[in-house]
Amino acid sequence: MKKDYDLIVVGAGPAGMTAGMYGVRSGLETLMVEKGICGGLSNEAPEIENYPGFKKVGGMELAEKMKEQVAEYAEIKELEEVKKIEFVKKEWVVITEKDSYRSKAVIISTGTKHRRLGVKGEDEFLGRGISYCAACDGFFFRDKPVIVVGGGDSAVREALYLKNIGCEVTLIHRREKLRAERYLEKNLEKAGVHILWNSVLKEIKGDKAVRSVVRYDREREIEDELPVEGLFISIGEEPVNELAAHVGIETDKNGYIITDKSQRTNLERVYAAGDITGGVRQVVVACAEGAIAATSAYNDLLELS
């Protein structure tokens, strides 16, 4: 067991990094633990255009700037996955794959993960033509035919990014209307991205890599096979809530952690912030929730002492 902390932040995306910074600045001995690298899914955003102060910034660039800032304050452990959280003798114990740490308060900011389509071929061709991140893998498909699946902000942004780097992009959406911001939809039209409406992807086929997909046209009620080399699945996200479920933190019917306005969960001195709480999933909201969670922890610990 390593030293005791006042606050441990689990997950270092924008919410967690902001919480860490606010925690230390309020005088709390703070540790941040992250299973990957700081930034979370925001690392994958090709461009962010609605974070105040930055007209246009890459998701990874923004995350790196945040990390640089927070590292001046908080202790950060990257590549260390938290396996369990337990309440022992009135303190929280955060157990990772490498160690365990005691803390008076915990903020959960574990974010979300990509939703999977669940069709035949998805597991088989992952990394061999299938990707969930255009900014990470798009480069390999320059000048090649790619399909993006989805109709939300993420799918449209992925399609625009891929078009911009020179891919031949088709967007497949299961309905006849996008869910994405109108502004993004206009950019999609302007960029000339081909859209297949009312289309459901049924199967992914290939040999060593993806070669085609089977699409069901809901309007014409027919199936056809579309040749493709890259498939980018962008159909939303699901909460990373295993830690919360294990320790008994209340979640809603979709698995997002329920908090009050001060980011408090149903458990004493446990808070949640960012995408794991659902709602409006934007970097600016995640940062705000991180700041509120750390401030609530500070206030509650003041009462405790």
b (16+ CB within 10 A) / e for 163-194: bebebbbbbbbbeeebebeeebbebbeeeebe
Q: Are 216 and 199 in contact (CB under 8 A)?
A: yes
**Smallest distance from ligand NAP to CB 92, Å:** 30
Interior angle at CA 90, CA 85 and CA 95, nearest 5: 20
Q: Which residue lies nearer to ligand NAP by CB, 95 or 200?
A: 200
Sheet order of strands, 210-217 included: 199-206, 210-217, 222-227
Instruction: Return all residues near 64 (Cβ < 8 A) that are at least 6 apart.
Output: 39
Residue 133: active-site member: yes
Q: Which residue lies nearer to ligand NAP by CB, 23 or 239?
A: 239
- 230-233 vs 145-149, strand pairing mode: parallel
Residues 237-256 that bind ligand NAP (CB under 6 A): 237
Tell me if 210 contacts ligand NAP by CB under 6 A.
Answer: no
Near ligand NAP by CB under 6 A: residue from 111, 152, 230, 274? 152
Residue 57 is classified by DSSP as B
**Among 72-80, 132-140, 149-157, 246-254, the segment contacting ligand NAP (CB under 6 A):** 149-157
Say which of 133, 153, 275, 287 is annotated catalytic.
133
Q: Which residue lies nearer to ligand NAP by CB, 47 or 75?
A: 47
Near ligand NAP by CB under 6 A: residue from 103, 154, 212, 241? 154
Residues 254-283 that bind ligand NAP (CB under 6 A): 281
**Smallest distance from ligand NAP to CB 154, Å:** 3
Tell me the CB-side half-sphere exposure of residue 112, using CA atoms within 13 A.
25
Say which of 4, 99, 136, 260 is annotated catalytic.
136
Near ligand NAP by CB under 6 A: residue from 98, 175, 194, 246? 175
Q: Are 215 and 200 in contact (CB under 8 A)?
A: yes
Q: What angle separates helix 153-164 from helix 182-191, to the nearest 10 degrees?
A: 30
292 vs 269: CA distance, rounded Å: 13
- 112-114 vs 210-217, strand pairing mode: unpaired
Residue 136: active-site member: yes
Tell me if 117 contacts ligand NAP by CB under 6 A.
Answer: yes
**Smallest distance from ligand NAP to CB 201, Å:** 7
**Among 120-128, 154-162, 208-216, 261-269, the segment contacting ligand NAP (CB under 6 A):** 154-162
Which residues belong to the active site? Answer: 133, 136-137
Contacts with ligand NAP by CB under 6 A lie at 50, 117, 149-155, 157, 174-175, 179, 181, 235-237, 281
